[in-house]
Structure 1
Amino acid sequence: MAHHPLPGSLESGCIHGHLSHDTSHYREGAAQLELGDGFFRPESRPSRDLSVLMAAWQLRQRGESPCRWLDLMAGCGIRSVRWGLEALPAIRTSSAVTLTVNDADAARQLLLQRNLAPLRSARLTLACHQEPAEVLLRRAYLDQHHFDLIDLDAFGCPNGLLQASLQALAFDGVLLLASTDGRSPTGHDRVAAVRKFAAAARTHPASWEVALRLQLAVLAREAWMLGRGLEPLACFSDGRTFRLAVRMRRRLADGEEQQLGLLARCARCGAQAVQPLLRLQGWPSCACEGTQGRWAVTGPLWLGPLQSPVVISELLELADALEHTLAKPGRRLLQRLQADPGLPVCCWSTAELARRLQLQGPPSLHDLVGVLQASGYQACASGVMAGQLRTDAPLDSLLQVCRHLGRKDR
């Protein structure tokens, strides 16, 4: 297979050593590797499972076309190892696959080389780098070396790397993005939200979802400035890390700019309202009497879908062929996301609704969804946060249904 590493790379021949059978090594999927003393969370396996499925899905989508993957901040290399040992063997293709593995920490290079050793026999071209992420991305762009899949798993807010990442991403490429910055996009550090997201961020019961939508808004603006479109494939959070899988389209979809807007909520009565920036005007009255209500506005944020149920369905189908890839928590996550595309935008905490009505406990989410759908409203359980209802029903109708179900539960 032809080898076209980026300039300055360490060839795959430099990778040596073997995996020990020491019981301190970590096993996940088809990978057994050393974790070293760097930061690692076993609880983040669902996101790594998703990345393997995304790599396999992309291979199947591209047919015989070459595939170029980048693990930008590889750490111990677990994602790269699993891509090579799980995604690649699962898809029958003669596609030439190039895997670029990068970590700027010189102290981790020997560990990374040992962990990558099993990939020497995989049918891929392997290139290792030890560079700051932005240096690698900028040089790749200048050399017109574009990647089809980029995993950017950074500490803190990744927004400083978004432009370089999107410029290095091929048309219809997939970006897997992680952020551990939870305070600014959830409204707990509003000054930082202005700096990092150029947005107002207010506290909200659906805080995880608001954080994801703020991150998508930044991505959309960066993509649009390059003339590309944004398609969210899967967006989720565990409350500590906010993760997005998005596909960058060659051009914007019709009306895509309508997906950028503002979300308002009245903390006193709980009412919510949404407006696209292109149709921005005065806010309607909330449910408070007289002038007692006050809207707290968040945004600009993404008002479009958060998931692609079609793609997630294909990932779940692929998981049947990847025997060791999708663990039970990851499967449950994908099934929740598959059932909730992320529209309508407004989410309501059932616990908050119960408190406002002084009910003994939250109404059944299943029953709420059923009654609202039977009444002609859109409604589903949120796949992003537990105990959250997604619906376009106005607040008064929602409270009326909750009150009725509360009486039935007595």
Structure 2
Amino acid sequence: MPASPQSAPVEAGWWVVAGTRLDSLDPHYREGAACVQTGSGFFRAQSRPSRDLSVLLAAHQATHAQGPQHWLDLMAGCGIRGLRWGLESAPQSPHPLALWMNDADPERRVSLQANLNPLSGHDGVDLTLTQQPAERLLLQAYLDQRRFDLIDLDAFGCPNGLLQSALAVLRFGGVLILASTDGRSPTGHDRAAAVRRFAAAARAHPSSWELALRLQLAALAREAWMLGRGLEPLACFSDGRTFRLAVRLQRRVGADAEAQLGLLARCEQCGDQAVQPLLKLSGWRACACNPQDGRWAVSGPLWLGPLQSPSLVQELLTLSASMPQTLAPQGRRLLERLQADPGLPVCCWSTDELAQRLGLAGPPSLRRLVQALRGDGYSAVASGVMAGQLRTDAPWKVLLQRCADLA
């Protein structure tokens, strides 16, 4: 029996869409309201949750728009993200949409044109397709005084060289969706590269995905501040391979925004953690070890503020009810995790590490541990970034004691 239109792509030959068999040498892939040929270039069906989020953020921008929208997909690939913007997000607004799709690979043009053909002549969508290096496009847009309400920068490797150019052409209140596949340097596996790319120390850490996201947020915040602008994180997550952030550009730097930049320390010997903002940086307190044993491994400067806006994520979940094709179950579970976890407090611990340090047969119940810590008056929440981890401001010894009590 052939797969349904909502399934993953077939490996070759044909696809059934709305009862019609499509024959081609290349596989067709259906996602949301879009059906595309992925071609021979890089494409990951597993990245759908990030595209679902991008479509919902675009729709959210559209519903709150006061005038025409200008959206840029800087590294469009096969064009599925922009196609979904046009088919799913744009109808949420009565205002016209100027949609700019760009990919520097000239061999992508034919497949891009074919995939984006459903938007040709689409009422209210003005489509522009270009093949330019991202740096050139952004710089020319700045010279032409062109501004965008939404930019998706889905980069290979580290995107930091494009950050200031992208922020410079982002309208106040606009959203930048950023992806990075640079996993080694911000997770502490290539410390020299972290110094070069982030001007920061990155040490190995059990919450390595979150460490990478906070280092990337710090780099974004510094670029925004140098332009005299502020930054609001909307959603940050990772699958361990790609690190994704969505931020909103603010007209001014917020009050005490600089207090969100600081250092995170961890003792490899005992597992204790500590945080210090740069504005109040002083000597580190003693860790839970005996004085002669403990030694802090410090990472940063990194972002110490929230990782997402739970209220905005809730609005996206509510909006998805009117867009039934957009949010797949995996994407919904992601948004629900992020909505429950603002990203504070900063310190995260793995329940596996807690069990190992206590010599337990298995990790304690994350839900029960969160409840116990909250009952003691501490802040505690399950991490939405990495499974099996909790964030809390409880002292390390209290955290260990509660784990032992549950065991």
TM-score bin (small chain):
over 0.9
Q: Give the letter for the 1:68 counterpart.
A: H
- How many angstroms apart in 2 are the aligned matches of 1:286 and 1:94? 57
Equivalent in the alignment of 2:72 = 70
- How many angstroms apart in 1 are the aligned matches of 2:22 and 2:198? 45
Equivalent in the alignment of 2:12 = none
State the shift of 1:22 in Å.
2.8
Quick check: 1:41 aligned with 2:41? no
Alignment of 1:104-143 (within 5 A): 104-122=104-122, 123-143=124-144
Equivalent in the alignment of 1:27 = 30
Equivalent in the alignment of 2:148 = 147
Deviations 1:37-58 (A, max 9, x none): 0010000000000000000000
Equivalent in the alignment of 1:13 = none
Q: Give the letter for the 2:70 counterpart.
A: R
Equivalent in the alignment of 2:249 = 248
Alignment of 1:10-409 (within 5 A): 21-22=22-23, 24-62=27-65, 64-89=66-91, 91=92, 93-122=93-122, 123-406=124-407
- Give SS of 1:263's match: strand
Tell me which stretches of 4 or more aligned residues in structure 1 moved more than 6 Å. none
Deviations 1:182-241 (A, max 9, x none): 000000000000000000000000000000000000000000000110100000000000
State the shift of 1:381 in Å.
0.2
State the shift of 1:20 in Å.
8.7
- Give SS of 2:114's match: helix
- How many angstroms apart in 2 are the aligned matches of 1:380 and 1:347? 10
Deviations 1:331-378 (A, max 9, x none): 000000000000000000000010000011100000000000010000
- How many angstroms apart in 2 are the aligned matches of 1:22 and 1:132? 33
- How many angstroms apart in 2 are the aligned matches of 1:291 and 1:285? 10
Deviations 1:231-279 (A, max 9, x none): 0000000000000000010011111110000000000000000000000
- How many angstroms apart in 1 are the aligned matches of 2:22 and 2:170? 37
Q: Give the letter for the 2:271 counterpart.
A: G
State the shift of 1:21 in Å.
2.1
Q: State the identity as a percent.
A: 68
State the shift of 1:131 in Å.
0.4
State the shift of 1:66 in Å.
1.5
Aligned length in residues: 385
- Give SS of 1:285's match: coil
- How many angstroms apart in 1 are the aligned matches of 2:31 and 2:372? 42
- How many angstroms apart in 2 are the aligned matches of 1:347 and 1:330? 23
Equivalent in the alignment of 1:15 = none
- How many angstroms apart in 2 are the aligned matches of 1:97 and 1:38? 27
- How many angstroms apart in 1 are the aligned matches of 2:320 and 2:23? 29
State the shift of 1:290 in Å.
2.2
Equivalent in the alignment of 2:15 = none
State the shift of 1:65 in Å.
1.3
- How many angstroms apart in 2 are the aligned matches of 1:250 and 1:59? 19
Q: Larger relative CO (CA 8 A, sep 6+): 1 or 2?
A: 1
- Give SS of 2:116's match: helix
Query: Measured at CA, do residues 222 and 353 of structure 1 come closer, stay the same or move farther in structure 2, by a change above 3 Å?
Result: same
Q: Give the letter for the 2:81 counterpart.
A: R
Query: Measured at CA, do residues 291 and 366 of structure 1 come closer, stay the same or move farther in structure 2, by a change above 3 Å?
Result: same
Equivalent in the alignment of 1:9 = none
- How many angstroms apart in 1 are the aligned matches of 2:248 and 2:22? 38
Deviations 1:271-298 (A, max 9, x none): 0000000000000000001221000000
Q: Give the letter for the 1:53 counterpart.
A: L
Deviations 1:10-29 (A, max 9, x none): xxxxxxxxx99237211000
- How many angstroms apart in 1 are the aligned matches of 2:192 and 2:254? 33
* Structure 1 unmatched ranges of 5 or more: 1-18
- Give SS of 1:172's match: strand
- How many angstroms apart in 2 are the aligned matches of 1:230 and 1:303? 13
Give RMSD over aligned pairs. Answer: 1.0
